[in-house]
């Protein structure tokens, strides 16, 4: 396992992990969305350096090319 700074292209793999946090928060707007749509939004937002949950503010755990933790 390797711990490294996230990169913009990690958004697709990080989106489901970020969603776990938001599921616990029970954000009403997100509860109305499908997982597929939420993953798309989070993956795009992940590329924006200023976004709180972006690559610029994230460290990932990577195992054999798969992100297993953030």
pLDDT, residue 56, reads 98
pLDDT, residue 70, reads 96
16-51 per-position pLDDT tens digit = 999 999 999 999 999 999 999 999 999 999 999 999
| Structural domain contains residue 22 | yes
The contacts of residue 6 (CB under 8 Å, 6+ apart) are 14, 46, 54, 55, 56, 58, 59, 60, 70
| Structural domain contains residue 69 | no
User: Looking at the 3D structure of the chain, how many domains does it have?
Assistant: 1
The pTM is what? 0.88
| Structural domain contains residue 59 | yes
| Structural domain contains residue 13 | yes
Domain span including residue 21 = 2-64
pLDDT, residue 6, reads 98
| Structural domain contains residue 14 | yes
CA 46 to chain CA centroid, Å, is 6
pLDDT, residue 21, reads 92
| Structural domain contains residue 70 | no
């Amino acid at each position: 396992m390797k711990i490294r700074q996230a990169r913009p292209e990690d958004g697709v793999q990080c989106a489901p992990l970020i969603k776990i946090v938001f599921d616990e928060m029970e954000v009403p707007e997100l509860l109305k969305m499908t997982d597929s749509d939420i993953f798309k939004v989070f993956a795009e937002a992940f590329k924006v350096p200023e976004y709180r949950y972006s690559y610029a503010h994230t460290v990932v755990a990577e195992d054999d090319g798969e992100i297993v933790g953030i």
